[in-house]
Amino acid sequence: MFLGLDSSTQSLSALIIDADRGTIVHEDAIHFGRDLPHYGSPSGFIPGGPDGEVHADPRMWIEALDLLLSRLAESFDLSQVTAIACSGQQHGSVYLDTTFSDRLAALDPTSGLVEQLAPALTRATSPIWMDTSTGEECAEIAAALGGNDEVCRRSGSVAIERFTGPQIRRFFKTKPEAYQRTAIIHLVSSFIGSILAGRDIAIDHGDGAGMNLLNLHSLDWDADLLDATAPDLRDKLPLPEASANAAGPVSGYYVSRFGFAETCEVVLSTGDNPSSLVGMGATEPGTFVISLGTSDTFFAAMSEAVTDPNGFGHVFGHPAGGFMSLICFRNGSLAREALRDQLGLAWSDFDHDGLAQTPPGNEGRVMLPFFGPEITPRRDFNGPVRNFPDDAPPGVQIRALLEGQFLNMRLHSQWLGEKPTLIRLTGGASQNDGIARLVADIFQAPVERFAIANGAALGAAIRAAHACGENLAQLTGSFCQPAADSRIEPNRSLAATYDSAMETYRTLLAGGR
Ligand code: ADP
Ligand code: XUL
């Protein structure tokens, strides 16, 4: 049995697999807003932060871990678990003083984690990936390196507001004494893994690459990026290591309190996107994952590490070695919902009154689908741009939005230099048949839909099994299966239509009509 944990924005979830039988045997989750309302974070973060700050209370993550494990121990014999691995929301960081390591080593199973660990925090709240407060710090880091091209060449991404390095720099600038008192900085994923292992564990290459600090060529912290970020930073960071490495046996706290075996191994943690790459069975190049959630994300294993010359996409470590791409599109479901509400429609009308009423390619009518600020490409908010009248019929608008979104995705994933042989679609909007068909036609690749709600926790459980010697391809083959009858083949006769729509889209984006 292998336990995967995922500490995401809104919840901490657990999934246990039986690797021999190929079955998921147990699942549970703590919803931060619902189960831990005393942290005042209905959606997993503290609302109303100033200047683009989005922070969460790390005590909430710690308390959730105790609560989840006590629930698991009530309904499952945890002594059967051979290994545990964690996944965490990327980029978020936790700041701790010199007492943290000793506290971890001496955890007392007769009292709770929060009271034992919270006194070590040097920063009461943790910036998370939704934080946009570090524009100035990004500019400073880029300038120190001689430009963003160099930051991207080394770290796989230009300096990005939500990435951990710029966040650390802001902490150093605004709270220099607290920064100085900080002995160790963890990512959410390595923080949770450290508590489980009872010692500070390494940061893996998957999540570590989301910091603007890891040099992807040497797979070590980059001396110039460290210097550009904050003083003495190397001393405050765990070492970067391969994701599949073991971190040591589970802490005695978990043996005494929840009945884990003393031999149960903790495997290094990784970020939720690298973990989902495994959980979606997309560990080989050629299979692209598109997740249509609040934002849309796109990720895939890479045959070779190339970076996005435009600076929109990211390169992270692949949890099984090598690299993966990740591209985020802020106007995902947010934009689809905005148009749905403007037109006063339901999701089912979206398909029937939208896509079904209009021809593929929309007779050349194209929309830049930005209903709010966008990060890929970077755009301040100025609303969608259309090459057709604003009062066109609903069907035209809907098709233009959806085609615009996937043309934008196709255009901004071209830097990968790879065409998909298969697309695995997940997230809320993947339920929509018309949307799934559109993805197949625009990318000219078969689409499989995934029912798995928790690809990141499944990926963590599979990684735990893989690190203990189980075969990765066999594991993904048995656990990462698409929903029955969910495969959609592309209509090959539409290839030219969408090549031409892409050119129209590109022209509109460049300011033409
Ligand atoms: P997240 O993980 O970001 O919370 P989910 O993957 O759960 O998001 O997706 C939720 C989103 O899916 C909702 O915001 C909603 O807009 C969208 N959604 C749900 N059902 C449909 C549908 N049938 N068609 C299109 N979008 C849908
Ligand atoms: C990736 C990112 C998000 C978080 C969400 O760069 O910021 O996908 O990992 O959990």
Residue 351 in this model has a pLDDT that exceeds 90: no
Please give the Cα distance from 448 to 456 (Å, whole number). Answer: 18
In the numeric block, which tokens belong to residue 181?
A: 């008192």
Top CATH class of 2-274 equals alpha beta
Residue 513 in this model has a pLDDT that exceeds 90: no
Cβ atoms within 10 Å, residue 390: 8
In the numeric block, which tokens belong to residue 117?
A: 């660990």
Does ligand 2 come within 6 angstroms of the Cβ of 272?
yes
| Residue 367: its H or E element | strand 367-368
Question: Rounded mean pLDDT of the chain?
Answer: 96
pLDDT score for 485: 86
Q: Hey, do 2-274 and 281-451+483-513 end up sharing a CATH topology, with the first three levels equal? A: yes
Residue nearest to atom 10 of ligand 2 (CA): 89
Residue 159 in this model has a pLDDT that exceeds 90: yes
Does ligand 1 come within 6 angstroms of the Cβ of 10?
no
Residue 59 in this model has a pLDDT that exceeds 90: yes
Residue 349 in this model has a pLDDT that exceeds 90: no
pLDDT score for 428: 87
Measured in angstroms, how far is the CA atom of residue 431 from the centroid of ligand 1? 8
Measured in angstroms, how far is the CA atom of residue 293 from the centroid of ligand 1? 5
Quote the pTM value.
Answer: 0.95
- 3-class DSSP assignment, residue 372: coil
Question: Each residue of 68-114: pLDDT tens digit?
Answer: 999 999 999 999 999 999 999 999 999 999 999 999 999 999 999 99
Domains of the chain: which residue ranges?
2-274, 281-451+483-513
Question: Each residue of 366-384: pLDDT tens digit?
Answer: 999 999 999 999 998 889 9
Q: Residue 496: which pLDDT band, with cuts at 50, 70 and 90?
A: very high
Does 225 or 351 have the greater pLDDT score?
A: 225
Residue nearest to atom 23 of ligand 1 (CA): 432
Does ligand 1 come within 6 angstroms of the Cβ of 293?
yes
Phi first, then psi, for residue 201 (nearest 5°) are -95, 165
The number of helices, as runs of H, and strands, as runs of E, in the chain is 21, 25
Q: Residue 183: which pLDDT band, with cuts at 50, 70 and 90?
A: very high
Residue nearest to atom 5 of ligand 2 (CA): 89
Average pLDDT of the residues in 41-67: 97
Residue nearest to atom 8 of ligand 1 (CA): 293
Topology given in CATH for the domain delimited by 281-451+483-513: Nucleotidyltransferase; domain 5 (3.30.420)
Does ligand 1 come within 6 angstroms of the Cβ of 294?
yes
Measured in angstroms, how far is the CA atom of residue 292 from the centroid of ligand 1? 7
Residue 293 in this model has a pLDDT that exceeds 90: no
pLDDT score for 85: 98
